[in-house]
Amino acid sequence: MGDGVVIHVRKGDYAILETKKGYIISVLFPNAYRNSHFDVSRYFKLDISGLIQSGDFEALDELSQDIRRDYASFQRYETEKVNVTGRRLMSKLKLAMKPWDFTLYRCGNDTHVLKVIFSEGNYKVDVERFFIVTDYLLNAEDLFSTCERVSANIRMSCEDFANSEISKRDFDLL
C-alpha cells in the first residue's frame, strides 16, 4: 500500500492512517491465532473520509468492532501493510464555530473547551480565552445558539467563569 501518516489512534483497538490513496483503518485483532497470545493488525481501505472530516469517532469505534465481528464481510477491503512514516494526530475537533465570537472544541481526552474571543483596548485587539464547558452545553438542543449565549455571558461577566478558565498553554496540552 505504501507509506502513511497516523492521524488517529484508539489504543488497543484501531488506528487511522492517511496515505496518498486515501484513508486506511488498521484494526487490532487480539489473540488472532488459535492457542496463541499474538495480536495482529489488519489494514482495510474503506471510504471513511466523511467520518474523518466530521470527526465521528463513535462511528469509527463501531466500524472497528464490526470489522472484528464480521471479518469475512470486510476481507475484500483488506490491503497490504502500510509503512508508517509519521504522526499528525487529530487531537482537537471543532464542533461549532462563529468567527470572531467562539469555537467549541472536543479535545483528544474528551474534554470540551469553548474558545471565546474578546476585543480589548482602544484598537480593539482580539484576545482568545479558553473555558472548559460542561455536559449542560453539550446536551443542548441547539448547540450553536447555546454557544452564542454562553460566550456572550462569559464576555459580560468573565469573573463568574474564572473557575473554568484555562490558559492557552493548557489548552494546547489537551
What is the residue-level pLDDT of the chain in tens, covering all 174 positions? 688 888 888 878 899 998 998 999 999 988 777 777 788 899 999 999 888 877 777 888 899 999 999 999 999 999 998 988 887 766 677 788 898 899 888 876 667 889 999 987 777 788 899 999 887 777 778 888 889 999 999 999 989 988 999 988 887 766
Length of the chain: 174
pTM score, two decimals? 0.54
Looking at residue 142, the DSSP 8-state letter turns out to be: S
Region for residue 23 given its phi and psi (left: phi exceeds 0; alpha: psi -120 to 50; beta: otherwise): beta
Query: Across the chain, how many H-helices and E-strands are there?
Result: 6, 11
Distance CA 44, CA 88 (A): 20
Cell of 59: 462511528
